[in-house]
Amino acid sequence: RILIFGTDGRFYMVRAANLPSGRGMGEPLRLMADLPNEARIVDMFVHVSGRKLIVASTAGDGFVVPEDDVVAQTRAGKQVLNVGDGAARACVPAAGDHVAVVGENRKVLVFPLTDLPEMGRGKGVRLQSYKDGGLSDVTTIVLAEGLSWLDPAGRTRTETDLTEWLGKRASAGRMAPRGFPRDNRFS
């Protein structure tokens, strides 16, 4: 089963066996999963039973959801993240012990994964606060291994001393480390 997470906060499911073969012209994924025209695909991945995911919106709200709870049984999908006027921004596996978030204002915040509640659906809790702009990216890390990202030259950079960016969930964070990508993405 292939899960698709849309900007509308819904999860859609397509069976791999239903995908057209490589010989034809293909078929739009929107038609196979009833994805609305105004919604874009945030992420697409193979379903792994028992795994947990972090979902987040552009407003900076998010939560942990068991992956087994997001599998949609209908083509219309399953509403998981209530986005309001915003859009869904991120869907990442909840692996590790800390969450790192970066906003459009280039501020990074690292906080424990245990601070995020596990929910089946809803708006979630505030991950990071913003005066203007919103959430850019989310990832999970093991604090002892540090935070890694690809620099503009394509090399992997790692910051192991994260004490400057450690904080409480829903605080503003600090400016990103030197060499952090301009697109504000961890990978």
Band (132; pLDDT cuts 50, 70, 90): confident
176-to-10, 22, 32, 120, 121 alpha-carbon distances in Å: 31, 43, 40, 32, 31
Distance CA 126, CA 88 (A): 14
- Mean per-residue pLDDT for 29-41? 87
H helices of 46-111, in order, are none
Q: What is the pLDDT of residues 43-101, one digit of tens each?
A: 999 999 999 999 999 998 999 999 999 998 888 889 999 988 889 899 999 998 999 99
Residue 150 pLDDT exceeds 90: no
Distance CA 95, CA 100 (A): 12
Residue 155: its pLDDT value, please? 85
Question: What does pTM read for this prediction?
Answer: 0.87
Residue 17 pLDDT exceeds 80: yes
